[in-house]
């Protein structure tokens, strides 16, 4: 078997565990939408999606049509919804592969209906309502009229209606979003319209607002073992480990500097490991002089600028040599470094850390 300089290991049992952890928070009839966009948050689209589906996800969600089609080509037969924009020139593929589109303006629905009429097929759509993100979605006051117009199109089948929380930790703002959404739904009820599926909550909303579960929830970050510290004793297990190797050991003298822009100067003799992974691979430049990693179960610190495909780490006092494996995300011995740690050091969120891991890094899948 070919040795890999850098690799990602994915524990598929963790995916199963995490889905079941969230499932326990829900009523039995509440559906689960497994969000596998952005290459399944860096975990690898196909294997992760297949595990989520077989573990009990009722629906899978992507951000792009290409990812949705890739799932179909892999013979994954679950209902699939694309949560983001799809160009009208792609509508034939949408219909060919039985994909549900998110619709947030009427003209797009009309174009989709025309293409479906040409093919004599039903086009499936999920209506998006904006309740405070000011991103995609119909304004609350126009949602009912547009829903009626879309429902009247001859080749459109509405599968559901949804919205998205802007800041779930802000209870007042989120409660207001829920109220706006409920008022929209009340207007539907007054008009004797019952959407087939209603959903608004993603990971944090699921945990913080049980009243927002409605008919379905979207599990993104929690599926991969993280919940943004809103539920620290949740039982979620991070599913991904990122590993590399020491390419070279260097000795650096007092006063010498390391890497671009010379942002790090040694105060005393140092032993430095050169690690062949960098920001082009998804290891953030923001971890310059901040990040930590595990080297033979000991903590080492990033020193100097993280380069495009290389960074350096202070391994002074750690028994190690060229060729030794290092853990950039994961656990070893009694210690661990997870995506939440990298996010804190890099002043971002674990979603970004995970989703930016390069697709070119080989993935290995295990049932641990």
| Cβ pair 138, 127 in contact under 8 A | yes
Q: Encoding tokens for residue 204?
A: 């944090």
Active-site annotation holds for 175 = no
DSSP for 242-282, written as a single string: EEEE--EEEEE-TT-EESGGG-EE-SS-EEEEEES--GGGT
Do the strands 270-275 and 311-314 form a parallel or antiparallel pair, or are they unpaired?
antiparallel
Q: Give the gyration radius of the chain's Cα atoms.
A: 23
Q: Which residues contact 341 (CB under 8 A, 6 or more apart)?
A: 292
Torsion of CA 111, 117, 120, 123, to 10 degrees: 30
Question: Which one-letter DSSP state was computed for residue 360?
Answer: T
CA distances from 103 to 100, 187, 215 (A): 9, 19, 19
Of the residues 148, 260, 265, 368, only one is catalytic, namely 260
The β-bridge partners of 332 are 335
314 exposed, middle or buried (CB, 10 Å; 0-12, 13-18, 19+)?
A: buried
Active-site annotation holds for 279 = no
| Cβ pair 35, 67 in contact under 8 A | no
Q: Which residues contact 282 (CB under 8 A, 6 or more apart)?
A: 42, 353, 356, 357, 358, 361
Q: In 10 A of CB 174, how many CB atoms?
A: 23
The residue ranges of DSSP E strands in 146-188, in sequence order, are 156-162
Of the residues 37, 124, 128, 204, only one is catalytic, namely 37
Euclidean distance between CA atoms 30 and 21, whole angstroms: 14
DSSP for 113-145, written as a single string: HHHHHHHT-PEEEEEEB-SSS-SSSB-HHHHHH
Q: Which of 51, 96, 105 is nearest to 78 (CA)?
A: 51
Do the strands 248-252 and 257-258 form a parallel or antiparallel pair, or are they unpaired?
unpaired
Residues identified as active-site: 37, 260
């Amino acid at each position: 078997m070919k040795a890999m300089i850098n690799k990602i290991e994915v524990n598929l049992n963790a995916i199963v565990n995490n889905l079941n952890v969230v499932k326990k928070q829900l009523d039995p009839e509440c559906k689960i939408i497994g969000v596998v966009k952005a290459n399944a948050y860096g975990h690898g689209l196909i294997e992760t999606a297949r595990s989520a589906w077989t573990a009990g996800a009722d629906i899978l969600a992507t951000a792009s049509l290409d990812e949705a089609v890739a799932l179909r080509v892999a013979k994954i037969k679950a209902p699939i919804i694309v949560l983001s924009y799809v160009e009208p020139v792609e509508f034939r593929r949408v219909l060919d592969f039985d994909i549900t589109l998110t619709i947030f303006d009427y003209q797009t629905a009309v174009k989709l209906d025309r293409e479906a009429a040409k093919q004599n097929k039903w086009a499936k759509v999920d209506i998006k309502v904006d309740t405070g993100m000011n991103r995609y979605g119909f304004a609350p006051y126009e949602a009912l009229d547009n829903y009626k117009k879309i429902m009247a199109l001859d080749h459109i089948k509405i599968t559901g209606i949804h919205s998205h929380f802007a800041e779930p930790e802000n209870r007042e703002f989120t409660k207001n979003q829920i109220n706006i959404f409920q008022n929209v739904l009340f207007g539907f009820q007054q008009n004797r319209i019952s959407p087939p599926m209603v959903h608004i909550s993603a990971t944090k909303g699921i945990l913080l607002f049980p009243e927002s579960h409605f008919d379905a929830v979207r599990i993104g970050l929690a599926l991969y073992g993280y919940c943004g510290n809103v539920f620290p004793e949740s039982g979620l297990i991070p599913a991904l480990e990122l590993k590399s190797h020491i390419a070279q050991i260097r000795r650096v003298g007092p006063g010498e500097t390391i890497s671009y822009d010379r942002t790090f100067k040694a105060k005393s003799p140092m032993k430095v490991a050169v690690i062949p992974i960098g920001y082009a691979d998804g290891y953030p430049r923001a971890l310059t002089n901040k990040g930590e990693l595990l080297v033979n179960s000991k903590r080492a610190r990033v020193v100097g600028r993280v380069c495009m495909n290389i960074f350096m780490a202070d391994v002074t006092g750690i028994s190690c040599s060229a060729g030794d494996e290092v853990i950039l995300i994961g656990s070893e011995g009694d210690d661990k470094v997870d995506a939440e740690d990298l996010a804190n050091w890099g002043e971002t969120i674990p979603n970004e850390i995970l989703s930016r891991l390069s697709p070119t890094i080989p993935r290995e899948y295990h049932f641990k």
